[in-house]
Amino acid sequence: MSGRGIALYPASLDPIHYGHINVAIRASRFFDELVVAIYANPNKKRVLFEIEERVELAKEIFQNYAAISVAKYNILTVNYAQSVGAIALIRGLRVFGDFEFEFRMGMANKKLAPELETIAILSDEQYMHISSSTIREIAELGGDVSSMVPPIISDALRKKFGT
């Protein structure tokens, strides 16, 4: 199903996992283009993958999806969304705590950019337990994260942690 316009899926993707990928692919069905926008937060001191690494990994993962592009940004999300002509922000929901955070963020974004809609997509059930922080911790301790991330990400994590 193709919709109209451009949607922005903002995330840090440190690392990207099957939950992120699932939401992006499903969201892309409703828009002509989905921009997976990776936020380069200059205030975030502890990142595992630098912004360029995250962008390259995401580009490789989405290379076979014509409607999905990957970009980085470091400005207010609504400003970046406006700069690419987005009509909607895509947010993924996994657990109840996500709803409260996303609700507050969506309300703030609506105040800043009333023309932008926030669309929440529930993660498929098999991905609800996955989070980037959990993946980082498991991988750092030498655990197997292959059920949570694509092989390219598993390999990148092993290289990062020397496991």
**Residue of 28, 123, 132, 154 marked active site:** 132
**Residue of 29, 44, 129, 158 marked active site:** 44
Residues 6+ apart with CB under 8 A from 111: none
Contact 67, 34 (CB under 8 A): yes
The pair of structure tokens assigned to 120 is 């929440």
Question: In the annotation, is 94 catalytic?
Answer: yes
Question: In the annotation, is 160 catalytic?
Answer: no
**Residue of 17, 91, 94, 136 marked active site:** 94
Question: In the annotation, is 46 catalytic?
Answer: no
The pair of structure tokens assigned to 3 is 């919709």
Dihedral angle computed from the Cα positions of residues 133, 117, 95 and 26, in that order, rounded to the nearest 10 degrees = -80
Question: In the annotation, is 111 catalytic?
Answer: no
Query: Which residues belong to the active site?
Result: 20, 44, 94, 132
